[in-house]
Amino acid sequence: MEFEPFMFPLSFITYCTLSSWIFNTNFSSFLQLHKPTSMKAACRILWLTLIVLFAEISTASVDRKTYIIHMDDAKVLELKSFYKQPQEWYEEILQLSRTTSADIDHEELPPELLYTYENTMTGFSAKLTTEQYQLLTEIDGVLHAAPDEIRSLQTTYSPDFLGLELDQTGLWNENSLQQRASDVIIGFVDTGIWPEHISFSDTGLSPIPSRWKGTCVEGTNFSVTNCNRKLIGAKFFFKGYEAAYGRINDTIESRSARDSRGHGTHTASTAAGNAVSGASLFGMAKGIARGISFTSRIAAYKACWEGNCANSDILAAIDHAVADGVDVLSLSLVGDATPYYKDSAMVASLGATQKGVFVSFSAGNSGPFASTVGNVAPWVMTVAASSLDRGFLGQVKLSNGKIFRGSSIYSSNQKKTKQLPLVYKETAGGKRVTEYCLPESLSPSLVKGKVVLCMRGINDKTEKGLVVKSAGGAGMILLNTPSYGEELVADPHVLPATLLGVSAAKAIKGYLTRDKNLTASISFYGTTYGARSPMVAAFSSRGPSLVDPYIIKPDITAPGINILAAWPPVSSITHLSSDKRRAEFNILSGTSMSCPHVSGIAALIKSVHQNWSPAAIKSAIMTSAYTHDNRGHLISDLSVSNSTQYVTPFEFGSGHVNPDKALDPGLVYDITGEDYLNYLCSINYTNAQVTLLARREYNCPSDEGKATFQAGDLNYPSFAVLFYAVKGGKTSYTYKRTVTNVGKAKISYKILIDEPKGVRVSVVPKVLKFKELGEKQSYKVSFTRSGAKTTDNKSLSSFGSLIWVGGEYSVRSPIAVTWQ
């Protein structure tokens, strides 16, 4: 009779299947052997050959690392036609090296499978020796293998600041908000969640959407009953972290989705926390704490432990989130800048986007330095951070009568200190780093009962206060360095303390140089409103991108300074072990805080425009952004003391997010998955590199060997133009864009252009006329260098904008021109 493959043990067939892949034999014909004896003989021969191959790794080092292995999706699909799960094949290939050692006296650590990825990336992660890794890379079907990497976290009144109100119009339409947004599910890849927090109450919510496929996974201090109609999913991923750092200590951090750090609880409630009246931190920022999309459902995917997030764990979290059915993914974390095909998080994010999931990332907290922005792929939303008009006033008065306004969240009943002597650097201690108030840098005999000046930087601001307090100091005045400019981030200090901007720092140090007997007092006035805002945070990472200069990044800015949101009641509000203060809400700053604002806005837009693609939602948010502050001036940069230093698209992308306008943007720029792949070809990625991102064999389209797609032709809502400042360099580029009418059926748009310095911009046609909703119109825009060579500075950039104006709509795209 004819051979039936499943009459034999699964492992036996898998060995033969693996062998056929290694030697590039015809997979289908190999399984069509007619006699069992032929099958056995073939497998025996192939198995002996494998022994010879794997014997080479018998002296492998006992040291192992975690690797992420990207597999050819087509081959895995072929495998699936015979077996239910590719995991069985992955396990077999990894175990081969365990049993083929030529040296019986040598005991080699076996490879260990950590995760398999199927939804947003095809492949697996495993702990391997160097030799095992090298052998795997030679197997047919392996597209790419790379060591695991660690990412870091980027660490309410803000809805009011954003113009969200419970009225009859706009995104927070009270009559239909619950019905619309409660069907949208936001996934958070973070430190987990504190499920009992009142912000995650399911009061008033309808049953869980029937399409939801996720679950709540039990673990340390976490059970299925911790989930409800608000928190509908909770999973945790730790194998990559433990492979790098060892087993998680359950007494410090729960080995479950429970959040003991606070970061994940804070970000989840920012985007989708339920309304909580009377929320505050020690009475400050008091009001109703409400997430941006406060009726949306939450799914928590814990992939970060003790502030570190392994890429292998992040990939597993994204893969599960997409399979579970999230609509939006929010990731407040960042890693090193690297090409997309080497960045597993960007690979998985492309897979998520292609399946209709909107993905937002924080831009990073490495500002104000140029080219520090992370998470720059065109298929993700990259979010910068900016200020609110709310502050927490901590005021300094010197004995010479000079007064300086700063920022502080000091929780004592003491509203004012006495006038106390000021000490700084050599008058506070004899060590070289005394001015930064590092541990053991201060002399108790010099600082006892005095106010210590401490420079910002190196260690955490609240730790500096603890250092001062431990040395006997009575107060602390934190001083910004030039890099931090006038950025005033509030912290819950452990002693009377406030933060001052760089101009005040310079003045106070000058006064102290001239008057050694200078004294100071610190007064605390609580919450204040009306500050000039928004202003881009000094810490917010900046462009241009080193990985991909053909896209403007970040994309957008959103509130990220002094954000009040939910907090685990068991976690210290400062993460200082000696700080026993606890609270249900905490005030934090970072692009970690700005990212969930945009995630929540995306969820609201998705609830209204259910058929919009992630690219269309992203376009709506970007083209509707505003660029002026509450004083009517262009938005400024907090990293500089000059308030007329306006930001550029490399600091805030298209501008500050404007939720209600994003709901009805007029026009959108849409992008397909195939467009992204063509774009990768245009920036000189090889077929193999694009194949890795495509998860299938991909050949870049070409015309007689030349690319058919320009980088500038990606239908992105902004324009990045590169000119090379060399003789003979290209002097003109023409790019194409296509917009879709989502505003009014019959409408015309006229073009307005603000030309960047040194460049002429022309658009054809100058008028777009639409007859119906959903109609698409295309235009071409040309950028031409004007006059002679603009500059000898190869890093010079100039900026402008292109705006389509029609009726009530203004659809704006920033332009960034860079000479290299």
Asked if the model's pLDDT at residue 18 lies above 90, the reply is no
Residues 71 and 48 in one domain: yes
**For position 38, what pLDDT does the model report?**
41
In single-letter form, the type of residue at position 763 comes to: V
Axis crossing angle, helix 687-694 with helix 344-354, rounded to the nearest 10: 60
**For position 34, what pLDDT does the model report?**
32
**For position 615, what pLDDT does the model report?**
99
Question: Is the distance from CB of 414 to CB of 475 less than 8 angstroms?
Answer: no
**For position 493, what pLDDT does the model report?**
96
Residues 572 and 509 in one domain: no
**For position 642, what pLDDT does the model report?**
64
Asked if the model's pLDDT at residue 107 lies above 70, the reply is no
User: DSSP 3-state assignment of 67?
Assistant: strand
Residues 447 and 559 in one domain: no
**For position 237, what pLDDT does the model report?**
98
Asked if the model's pLDDT at residue 20 lies above 60, the reply is no
**For position 115, what pLDDT does the model report?**
94
The answer to whether residue 515 sits within a structural domain is: yes
Active site residue 579: no
Domain count, the chain: 4
| Tokens of residue 102, six digits | 């030529």
Would you tell me how many other CB atoms lie within 10 Å of the CB of residue 816? 24
Question: Is the distance from CB of 492 to CB of 454 less than 8 angstroms?
Answer: no
The answer to whether residue 499 sits within a structural domain is: yes
Question: Is the distance from CB of 362 to CB of 540 less than 8 angstroms?
Answer: no
**For position 317, what pLDDT does the model report?**
98
Instruction: Please report how many Cα atoms fall inside a 13 Å half-sphere around the Cα of residue 171, on the Cβ side.
Output: 30
For the chain, give percent helix, strand, coil, nearest 5. 25, 25, 45
- Across 430-434, 460-464, 485-489, 619-623, the highest mean pLDDT is recorded for 619-623
Residues 28-63 pLDDT 10s? 333 332 333 344 443 443 333 333 333 333 333 357
Residues 178 and 312 in one domain: yes
Active site residue 571: no
Residues 300 and 155 in one domain: yes
**For position 644, what pLDDT does the model report?**
61
595-612 mean pLDDT: 96
**For position 368, what pLDDT does the model report?**
94
Residues 365 and 513 in one domain: no
Residues 622 and 520 in one domain: no
Question: Is the distance from CB of 490 to CB of 498 less than 8 angstroms?
Answer: no
| Tokens of residue 744, six digits | 């009014």
Least-confidence region, from 307-311, 461-465, 500-504, 664-668: 307-311
**For position 731, what pLDDT does the model report?**
87
Asked if the model's pLDDT at residue 7 lies above 80, the reply is no
**For position 478, what pLDDT does the model report?**
98
How many percent of the chain have pLDDT more than 70? 84
The CA angle 433-439-445, to the nearest 5 degrees, is: 85
Mean pLDDT in the chain? 87
Q: Which of 70, 144, 197, 263 is catalytic?
A: 263
Q: Exposed/middle/buried for 209, CB within 10 Å: 0-12, 13-18, 19+? A: middle
The answer to whether residue 685 sits within a structural domain is: no
Q: Give, in order, the Cα–Cα distances in Å from 630 to each of 199, 270, 589, 627.
A: 30, 23, 21, 10
708-724 mean pLDDT: 93
Question: Is the distance from CB of 604 to CB of 293 less than 8 angstroms?
Answer: yes
Residues 619 and 763 in one domain: no
The answer to whether residue 697 sits within a structural domain is: no
Beta bridge partners of 783: 733, 761
Question: Is the distance from CB of 511 to CB of 518 less than 8 angstroms?
Answer: yes
Residues 633-645 pLDDT 10s? 999 999 986 666 8
Residue whose structure tokens are 């509030």: 490
| Tokens of residue 531, six digits | 């500050």
Residues 354 and 400 in one domain: no
- Which of 94, 117, 147 is the endpoint of a domain? 147
Beta bridge partners of 381: 360
User: DSSP 3-state assignment of 84?
Assistant: coil
**For position 176, what pLDDT does the model report?**
62
Element (H, E) at 309: strand 308-310
User: DSSP 3-state assignment of 643?
Assistant: coil
Residue whose structure tokens are 């419970």: 166
Rounded to whole angstroms, the Cα distance separating 499 from 488 reads 6
| Tokens of residue 372, six digits | 């520090």
Residue 758, domain CATH: 2.60.40.2310
Residue 612, domain CATH: 3.40.50.200
Beta bridge partners of 234: 216, 300
Least-confidence region, from 80-84, 134-138, 625-629: 80-84
First CA to last CA across the chain, in angstroms? Answer: 71
Rounded to whole angstroms, the Cα distance separating 197 from 207 reads 20
Active site residue 263: yes
In single-letter form, the type of residue at position 453 comes to: L
Asked if the model's pLDDT at residue 672 lies above 90, the reply is yes
Under the banding of pLDDT at 50, 70 and 90, the label for residue 727 is: low
**For position 433, what pLDDT does the model report?**
83
Residues 140-179 pLDDT 10s? 778 888 899 988 876 544 556 565 655 555 555 655 655 6
Sign of CA dihedral 324, 325, 330, 334: positive
Rounded to whole angstroms, the Cα distance separating 659 from 664 reads 9
The answer to whether residue 691 sits within a structural domain is: no
Question: Between 31 and 608, whose confidence is greater?
Answer: 608
Asked if the model's pLDDT at residue 86 lies above 80, the reply is no
Question: Between 109 and 762, whose confidence is greater?
Answer: 762
**For position 365, what pLDDT does the model report?**
94
Question: What are the start-end ranges of the E strands in 178-219?
Answer: 185-190
Q: Which of 72, 73, 183, 190 is catalytic?
A: 190
In single-letter form, the type of residue at position 38 comes to: S
Under the banding of pLDDT at 50, 70 and 90, the label for residue 414 is: confident
Rounded to whole angstroms, the Cα distance separating 339 from 326 reads 27
Residues 312 and 219 in one domain: yes
Residues 565-592 pLDDT 10s? 999 999 999 999 999 999 999 999 999 9
The CA angle 671-676-682, to the nearest 5 degrees, is: 125
The answer to whether residue 680 sits within a structural domain is: no
| Tokens of residue 428, six digits | 């506070």
In single-letter form, the type of residue at position 219 comes to: G
**For position 294, what pLDDT does the model report?**
93
DSSP state of 108: P
Q: Which of 312, 589, 592, 639 is catalytic?
A: 592
Question: What is the pTM (predicted TM-score) of this model?
Answer: 0.87
**For position 135, what pLDDT does the model report?**
81
The answer to whether residue 167 sits within a structural domain is: yes
The answer to whether residue 702 sits within a structural domain is: no
Per DSSP, the residues of 531-549 read ----EE-TTS---S-SS-T
Would you tell me how many other CB atoms lie within 10 Å of the CB of residue 53? 14
Parent domain of 311: 151-385+535-660
Residues 125 and 45 in one domain: yes
Least-confidence region, from 74-88, 393-407, 724-738, 805-819: 74-88
Question: What are the start-end ranges of the E strands in 399-502?
Answer: 403-407, 420-423, 451-455, 475-479, 497-500
814 cis-preceded (ω within 30 degrees of 0): no
Rounded CA Rg of the chain: 29
Asked if the model's pLDDT at residue 802 lies above 90, the reply is yes
Residues 418-472 pLDDT 10s? 999 999 999 999 777 899 999 999 999 999 999 999 999 999 999 999 999 999 9
Residues 331 and 184 in one domain: yes
- Which of 116, 147, 178 is the endpoint of a domain? 147
| Tokens of residue 50, six digits | 């494998």
Rounded to whole angstroms, the Cα distance separating 587 from 570 reads 16
**For position 307, what pLDDT does the model report?**
82
- Which of 504, 529, 554 is the endpoint of a domain? 529
Torsion of CA 123, 126, 132, 137, to 10 degrees: 20
Residues 759-792 pLDDT 10s? 999 999 999 999 999 999 999 999 999 865 454 4
